[in-house]
A = this chain, B = another copy of it.
């Protein structure tokens, strides 16, 4: 089972601001869609679901986002994202929640077009998969 991991992106950090970038070469997949989450009240949780097949890269462009994950083997992970040059790879079949600090911006890049059928939105359904049923 592939584990989530953090990796570094390219960055040019200067007085006049930061410019951070991805190169397709260092990415684990080709990007089929992207979305960004903004204006989340401080302390609010977003995500709180799993995906059957979507893999995602998440990057906190500004502020701080705390990511809590749980995989099919019931392993738990926590990552604090607060660097626009740092990306978190999220494999499929991971229950995830994202807690936002004030004024935080989260960018998400995914390997699949949007499909509602790919979402597992009920934790009980995910727990059944964890228990092999």
**Which A residues fall within an 8 A CB radius of B?**
15-24, 31-41, 44, 46, 59, 61-62, 84, 100, 103, 105, 107, 109, 113-114
Contact = CB atoms under 8 A, between A and B. Distances in A.
Given A17-B46, A107-B107, A113 B38 contact: no
Q: Is the interface of A mostly helix, strand, loop or mixed?
A: strand
Q: Report the copy number of this chain in the oligomer.
A: 2
A20 B33 contact: no
Nearest to A13: B39
A105 B107 CA distance: 11
Given A61-B61, A62-B103, A107-B107, A22 B33 contact: yes
A114 B25 CA distance: 12
